[in-house]
Amino acid sequence: MTERTPGFSTLAIHAGAQPDPTTGARATPIYQTTSFVFDDVDHAASLFGLQAFGNIYTRIGNPTCAVLEERVAALEGGTAGLAVASGHAAQVLVMHALMTPGDEFVASKKLYGGSINQFNHSFKNFGWNVVWADPDDIGSFERAITPKTKAIFIESIANPGGVITDIEAIGNIARRAGVPLIVDNTLATPYLCRPIEHGADVVIHSLTKFLGGHGNSIGGMIVDAGTFNWSREGRYPMLSEPRPEYQGIVLHETFGNFAFAIACRVLGLRDLGPALSPFNAFLILTGIETLSLRMQKHCDNAKAVAEWLAANKHVAWVSYPGLAGDRYHNLARKYCPKGAGAVFTFGLKGGYEAGVKLVSNVKLFSHLANIGDTRSLIIHPASTTHRQLSDAQKVQAGAGPDVVRLSIGIEDKDDIIADLEQALAA
């Protein structure tokens, strides 16, 4: 008899977790400690030398965080995960393992405004250079690749426009170029889309959003797909060359298909330090247990709201791939068959001023800079999250002056629609 593979909802509750062996506690305990006692000197030496797995210091690893790492990796179909302080921290650690000063990576123009800012400005302090490509012109990714290119970065569902990216097509370009494809899967979550199945080599998340789901914890995740040959042509020396900090260990040779996750932990997290707190890991784990239930409700509500807005006289356009006439509808059916997500944008006929007034008039919606909460959220990106971008960059990112972004919650859909109706009328 073959062993049964657990379903998604089962993994969301059980993956990585066992009853606590000391107390029998069923919920994963919060190991709120900085450090862990060694058995003896030899045990300590083996841990520090990467010759044994175990806990040393919570900046590097923690048992509560370890359950979270294993759970998200299982949901994504990866080989290993690394939990960190935020989605932005995850992006820094991923690039730290791949890039050296003067290197380049190709990124989709349709990204979260904070990522665009991080790539354009903060990463330059490390000597890492971004080259932008247009996901509506797949060939632009291939044209952007040079001998200095070390990775391609995209979002599965782009924030804020809800744009579905053709992961498989861009993954094929990455493979021809011999570089890894990194996919930010925050808006889709593995419930809607599993990028590794479509060619992703690394998946990242802002755990702050739908995975945690309750707007109470900041966190990030890196998932190693275990699919990339890091020793190819010596292009990734952090993984393919002997590490002097660890007695000459070659990480890819030693750890194989989870070497990238190890590199991010022992070379990045160890020294840069953006560790996730065990308490936040506990809260995010609790949120993940209901992920499948919440995401389906999010998607069902979002589709109903998008359909209502598309028929409203104050609305100029709606960008939601779940709508049959949307330009990304076919990609949504391919990559996100259970639903097109909960985040989308629409444009008001009154432009910038109308957008500002709308977010001032809502009552059920919360006007704030987050997505993926149980509550319905609203923001006018041009005046808030994307304000630091030029007008041209705002338009490219799907955050033009008339754009309003919604993150649809799991309230009753009639109440969500009623709040938008009264706010638009006002």
- Domain-embedded: residue 402: yes
Residues 29 and 87 in one domain: yes
Residues 261 and 338 in one domain: no
Q: What is the CATH number of the domain that holds 143?
A: 3.40.640.10
- Domain-embedded: residue 131: yes
Of 265, 287, 309, the domain-final residue: 287
- Domain-embedded: residue 3: no
Residues 271 and 303 in one domain: no
CB 309 within 8 A of CB 378: no
Q: What is the pLDDT of residues 278-328, one digit of tens each?
A: 999 999 999 999 999 999 999 999 999 999 999 999 999 999 999 999 999
- Say which DSSP state 58 is in: T
Residues 171 and 282 in one domain: yes
Which of 185-199, 218-232, 378-392 is predicted with the least confidence, judged by mean pLDDT?
378-392
Q: What is the CATH number of the domain that holds 421?
A: 3.90.1150.10
User: 352: pLDDT confidence band, cut at 50, 70 and 90?
Assistant: confident
Q: Mean pLDDT score of the chain, rounded to an integer? A: 95
State the average pLDDT over residues 49-66: 96
- Domain-embedded: residue 2: no
For residues 30 and 381, the model is more confident at: 30
Does residue 396 surpass a pLDDT of 90? Answer: no
d(CA 133, CA 107): 6
d(CA 24, CA 159): 42
In this prediction, residue 2 carries a pLDDT of: 60
CA-angle at 277, arms to 195 and 156, nearest 5°: 15
The residue behind tokens 């990775």 is: 151
State the average pLDDT over residues 412-422: 98
User: 394: pLDDT confidence band, cut at 50, 70 and 90?
Assistant: confident
Of 287, 308, 334, the domain-final residue: 287
Residues 6+ apart with CB under 8 A from 196: 76, 77, 78, 203, 223, 225, 227
- Domain-embedded: residue 181: yes
Q: What is the pLDDT of residues 244-258, one digit of tens each?
A: 999 999 999 999 999
CA-angle at 30, arms to 48 and 193, nearest 5°: 85
Of 261, 287, 313, the domain-final residue: 287
- Domain-embedded: residue 1: no
Domain that holds residue 370: 291-425
Residues 332 and 297 in one domain: yes
Percent of the chain with pLDDT over 90: 88
- Domain-embedded: residue 325: yes
Residues 22 and 168 in one domain: yes
Rg (CA), the chain: 22
Residues 202 and 351 in one domain: no
User: 1: pLDDT confidence band, cut at 50, 70 and 90?
Assistant: very low
User: What are the respective helix, strand and coil percentages of the chain, to the nearest 5?
Assistant: 45, 15, 40
> Hey, is 392 helix, strand or coil?
helix
Residues 119 and 159 in one domain: yes
Q: Quick check: bond before 160 cis, omega within 30?
A: yes
Residues 323 and 271 in one domain: no
Domain count, the chain: 2
State the average pLDDT over residues 62-71: 98
- Domain-embedded: residue 186: yes
Residues 45 and 152 in one domain: yes
CB 52 within 8 A of CB 46: yes
> Of 161, 169, 182, nearest to 326 (Cα)?
161
In this prediction, residue 389 carries a pLDDT of: 74
pTM above 0.75, yes or no: yes
Does residue 268 surpass a pLDDT of 80? Answer: yes
Residues 309 and 250 in one domain: no
Q: What is the pLDDT of residues 115-168, one digit of tens each?
A: 999 999 999 999 999 999 999 999 999 999 999 999 999 999 998 788 999 999
For β-strands 181-184 and 202-206, DSSP reports them as parallel
Q: What is the DSSP string of 129-189?
A: EEEEE-TTSTHHHHHH--TTEEEEEEESEETTTTEEP-HHHHHHHHHHHT--EEEE-TTTH
Residues 361 and 235 in one domain: no
User: 191: pLDDT confidence band, cut at 50, 70 and 90?
Assistant: very high
